[in-house]
Amino acid sequence: MIEIGEEEISLDRMIQRVRRNEAGAVVSFLGTVRDDGILGMEVEAFRDPALSEMEAIRQEAMSRFSLTAAEVSHRTGRLAVGESILAIVCSAAHREEAFSGCRYILEELKARAPLWKKEISSDSGGHWVEGHGR
Amino acid sequence: MIEIGEEEISLDRMIQRVRRNEAGAVVSFLGTVRDDGILGMEVEAFRDPALSEMEAIRQEAMSRFSLTAAEVSHRTGRLAVGESILAIVCSAAHREEAFSGCRYILEELKARAPLWKKEISSDSGGHWVEGHGR
Amino acid sequence: MKIKVLAFAAFGGILGREREVELEEEASVKDLLDELASIVPGFREAAFEPSGILRDYVLLMVNRKRIDPERDLSRILVEGDELAIFPPLAGG
Amino acid sequence: MKIKVLAFAAFGGILGREREVELEEEASVKDLLDELASIVPGFREAAFEPSGILRDYVLLMVNRKRIDPERDLSRILVEGDELAIFPPLAGG
């Protein structure tokens, strides 16, 4: 499952969904809004291209690392400090593949999915996080 | 929190407990009984030394990778295919530290904590998994 | 002809998230960017170097496919095309 | 004197998970292992090479601290000591 939405991410349900009898390892990554003296964050997506790119990345990870399952969920909209931004969950027969797959999806998503984050500061303004992805 | 016990692991609660406003990343590993043509697994621990070693490993990971929090839970007793054996959860300011800390705890635990696994096969017997840790 | 323009992140603040621009037939991507620069305050400074070259951090899609600003600014648009303009990606 | 013996994994199957062994005063870890070999069927074959050397995969703790079978088999035990015997670790 690939999703982009405003609702709270249910990491627990994602983990339950990727569990398989033939998988011995499940690795998950949860990205949250870190308190850097900000009030929160605003996440924006170019939704359909972002979903396609995330699905392409998921498929690459599945075949490259022989994953048994993988899910990615990215939130958009206004998020408070501590809230979830992104969750990635991968299952595989062995731990190496599950770790590598999760890391791969995370790095590729940052580089390739059309998503942006604005840090909301106390002065009712904010600034867009400088992107590195192209 | 470090724990060894017979009860089902609540990975979700572990993840909730390591979330912090100053942490931007939570990485978790869940090890489950993989279906290798076995009926299940029996996990045995030398309980107190295993708890001490797991706590020592947790502390090493906390300082080496600047983790904000880390928890480890290992089950013992008879486990069916698909059930959880082990969960490790780490939070950190950034993703690199959270991934490295989780991986470190997993590898050190396998090498250093006095725990053993027996694969239960269909013929009512089974065999102890050959250990690599000393 | 009408071209839809989508803008994200800082460019959304300047251009608005979505707008339609009326252009002559046979207009190129570069013509569209010039038109935006002439009608939207602040867009020229945000998107172009003082020398008139498109800034490095301006990324473009036509009909949801990335185009190369070095090569494809001369691409001719047709009625109903959609241009998306955004800074480097920063999700995750 | 009485020494407690804990055994895990395959050694638990041979020795039982926990037992007490009665030894002469001043007995060493090696004496304890020899006593186990003489009273418990199968333990000698499981723990020792045919040459009489302790097998590589036999790991030992005295009072929950690991001891080195190369160096510490001559260690003298005292009443109430606890020996743990187990194969290489295999958790996780």
CA of D26, closest CA in chain B: separation in Å?
26
Residues of B in Cβ contact (< 8 Å) with D61 = 46, 49, 114
Query: In this predicted model, what pLDDT tens digit does every residue of B111-134 receive, in sequence order?
Result: 999 999 999 987 667 899 999 888
- pTM recorded for the entire structure: 0.95
Max CA pair span of chain D: 40
Three-state DSSP state, D48: strand
Q: What is the mean pLDDT of the segment spanning D13-40?
A: 97
The predicted pLDDT at position A123 comes to 67
The predicted pLDDT at position A22 comes to 97
Looking at the partner chain, which of D59, D87, D92 has a beta carbon nearest the beta carbon of B31? D92
Question: What confidence category does residue A126 fall into, taking pLDDT thresholds of 50, 70 and 90?
Answer: confident
Provide residues of D within 8 Å CB-CB of chain B.
6, 8-10, 12, 57, 59, 61, 64, 84, 86-92
Tell me, yes or no, whether A12 lies in a domain. Answer: yes
Q: What is the residue extent of each domain of chain D?
A: 2-86
CB–CB of A132 and C90 under 8 A? yes
Looking at the partner chain, which of A45, A109, A128 has a beta carbon nearest the beta carbon of C10? A128
The predicted pLDDT at position B125 comes to 79
Domain count for chain A, please give it.
Answer: 1
User: Is 3.40.50.10490 the CATH classification of the domain at D2-86?
Assistant: no
Tell me, yes or no, whether A134 lies in a domain. Answer: no
CA of B23, closest CA in chain D: separation in Å?
26
Judged by CB atoms within 8 Å, which residues 64-103 of A form the interface with B? 81-82, 93, 95, 98-99, 102-103
The predicted pLDDT at position C15 comes to 98
The interface predicted TM-score (ipTM) is: 0.94
User: Where in the sequence is the domain holding A14, given as residue range(s)?
Assistant: 2-128
Residue B51, pLDDT above cutoff 80: yes
* DSSP-derived secondary structure for B52-102: HHHHHHHHHHHHHTTEEEEEEEEE-EEEETT-EEEEEEEEESSHHHHHHHH
Q: Is C52 exposed, middle or buried (0-12, 13-18, 19+ CB in 10 A)?
A: exposed
Tell me, yes or no, whether A124 lies in a domain. Answer: yes
Tell me, yes or no, whether A14 lies in a domain. Answer: yes
CA of A7, closest CA in chain B: separation in Å?
17
- State the amino acid at position D70 in one-letter form: E
The predicted pLDDT at position A125 comes to 79
The pLDDT mean for chain D works out to 96
Give the CATH number for residue B64.
3.90.1170.40
The predicted pLDDT at position A114 comes to 98
Query: In this predicted model, what pLDDT tens digit does every residue of C12-43 receive, in sequence order?
Result: 999 999 999 999 999 999 999 999 999 999 99
d(CA A92, CA B28): 14
